[in-house]
Structure 1
Amino acid sequence: MAMTRINIDEPRWDQSTYIGRARHFFTTTNPANLFCSASELEWARTTVTKYRNGEVVDLPEDVLWRAKHVYDSAFHPDTGEKMMLIGRMSAQVPMNMTITGCMLSFYKTTPAVVFWQWINQSFNAVVNYTNRSGDSPITVKQLGTSYVLATGGALITALGLNSLVKSMPPLVGRLVPFTAVAAANCVNIPMMRMKEWREVGLALQTSDGSSLGVASKKAAVEGVAMVTVSRIGMAVPSCVLPPLLMNSLEKKGVLRRMPWIGAPLQVLLCGICLTFATPACCALFPQKAAISVDRLEPEIQAKIRAMENPPTVVYYNKGL
């Protein structure tokens, strides 16, 4: 019996609802996809390619979606090339839980702060490079500038605050890494996408996905702002909740009796937090964001209103 064809190039769940977006990103960031074998990845690639080419793929719908999700977890959406392991979205939780847990554990000495902030921004650079756009790739200069500025911003924030909070309660010192991560995100993301909000803008579409043939810098500014908020939101649970718990354990003398437990416990806690915070914060804003025509640049407004049956609201891909 022939299966009704489905559109595997759109998410499986309704993206107009928060729950639908969250289910989509829980699947996208699932760390279990890292353990897919080479043969399973090749099966997923072959299945998706055949289905997109209109060939008959005799698989149940759930299995077809499984192939699509495995494919998305490992292959670049524009180029189709297999991405490096630690740069994949499915590596976000295990990599970030290790790095964040160590940043929270080793925050008191300058060498430790420098090392772990550098490791964090190096990982971010790998992720940004791995997931770069195939149509508008990140240049080496842009990547390097963003990397240097984000690393510098994180270090200045962390080391500067560490020197200021020495006389404050221990909990304040434990929260310094979060402030440094937030500061780095505020530099890194706008820098990586500078070309969009300064030069080319983001392509605008109608509600049904039809291109309007124009791009808006104001839409790009909004998109970058939403992504920055989402990234900072992802860091809140893993950078705030473990320090609260560790501060409580320190007051009760647990860390004094078992000093070895600090780093492993914080890594574990970060993993639990990030497992839920990563997809939950990716889903905060719709991927296909809306903007009123009245809020666009005057010249873009004029072009849209000159069209037949001009829309009052247009849409754009905000990025991740």
Structure 2
Amino acid sequence: MSGDLPLNINIKEARWDQGTFMGRAQHFFMVTDPRNVLLSSKVLEDARVTVENYRLGIVKPGLTEDQLWRAKYIYDSAFHPDTGEKMLLVGRMSAQVPMNMTITGCMLTFYRTTPAVVFWQWVNQSFNAIVNYTNRSGDAAITMNQLGAAYVSATTGAVVTALGLKSLTKHLPAIMGRFVPFAAVAAANCINIPFMRQRELKCGIPVTDAEGKRLGESSKAAQQAIVQVVVSRIGMAVPAMAIPPVIMNALEKKAFMKRFPVLNAPVQVGLVGFCLVFATPLCCALFPQKSSMNVSSLEPELQESIRQSNPSITTVYFNKGL
């Protein structure tokens, strides 16, 4: 059964050229669109059915190409690319802006006291743990013990870093204290992401040929994927945690803000949100989602296996995660 829409549209790939930064940016502006968080279960299920049916050659009568691509991006925003499972709502990339703007805004607002630093770093790492698990690469399971160890390690690292830097900035200009949350978040990302994805480092992630045929699992590919994600996440935090502190440091000296200090948190959250709307997709676009590496860079045994079964293949591909 088929409709008027041709069956040769490759919705396994993005709509825009992923070989260019601009193409990847357009793709991630769609994937991270915060409005997708508000979509109902019915809309998500309809998108899933539309996408999966199209892949089977079944086209709903009257379906247009724009509607198909819209369904594909709704599907991508809510379902894991490797497992096909519906992702936790707060862990989806479409929830990054509303969740991060709230948490980051509060971290930047309430940074002066030790209890506030500990609490908001804990909240942030709890959220990051969910995001990192939800957007992991591959389809291998991770145990509760591994999840617990990653969560405790990342949270401890973030809190220790934040408190250590906070004590060092006591005798420095006040503006320096505002950047402590960013340093703590950057350090925690270097801990949290590898720990939450340690299963990939131990067992590898699926690598495929250009057509998507699975060739094996590679820990080397996992290492490259995790490094790329760490860089992207730190880059994502730079505008949101570096620009608002400078603006707020100036605003808090104004008579209006002194008169209405209750506006401090809402203004800071708003500034962070504005930065994140652009920083989130642009930093996700730093590296291709379908990353690649030379066969010669893989583990020796996997190289040998690929050369024996597919001697013409020189490059393999894998989902780097987000």
Matches within 5 A, 1:265-304: 265-304=267-306
Give 2:260's aligned residue: 258
2:223 partner amino acid: V
Matches within 5 A, 1:1-320: 2-5=4-7, 6-58=9-61, 59-131=63-135, 135-197=139-201, 199-211=202-214, 213-252=215-254, 255-307=257-309, 309-320=311-322
**CA-based RMSD:** 2.2
Change (3 A) 1:247 1:31: same
Deviates more, 1:6-15 or 1:114-123: 6-15
Q: Which runs of 5+ in 1 are unaligned?
A: none
Partners of 1:146 and 1:124 lie apart in 2 by: 11
Partners of 2:292 and 2:44 lie apart in 1 by: 35
Partners of 2:154 and 2:185 lie apart in 1 by: 9
2:224 partner amino acid: E
Aligned residues: 318
2:36 partner amino acid: N
Q: Deviations over 1:187-246 (max 9, x none)?
A: 01111121222x2223333334333x3333222211111111011111001010001111
Partners of 2:105 and 2:134 lie apart in 1 by: 23
Partners of 2:313 and 2:86 lie apart in 1 by: 39
1:304–1:310 CA contact under 8 A, matched in 2: no
Change (3 A) 1:311 1:77: closer
2:50–2:59 CA contact under 8 A, matched in 1: no
TM-score, scaled to structure 1: 0.91
1:105 partner amino acid: T
Partners of 1:171 and 1:210 lie apart in 2 by: 53
Deviates more, 1:156-165 or 1:130-139: 130-139
Partners of 1:70 and 1:306 lie apart in 2 by: 40
TM-score, scaled to structure 2: 0.90
2:321 partner amino acid: G
- Identity of matched residues, %: 61
1:111 partner amino acid: P
1:132–1:138 CA contact under 8 A, matched in 2: no
Q: Deviations over 1:86-117 (max 9, x none)?
A: 22221110010000000000001011111111
Q: Deviations over 1:41-74 (max 9, x none)?
A: 3332332233233222221110111122222323
Does the residue aligned with 1:314 lie in a helix, a strand or coil?
strand
Deviates more, 1:219-228 or 1:201-210: 201-210
1:233 partner amino acid: G
Deviates more, 1:26-35 or 1:127-136: 127-136
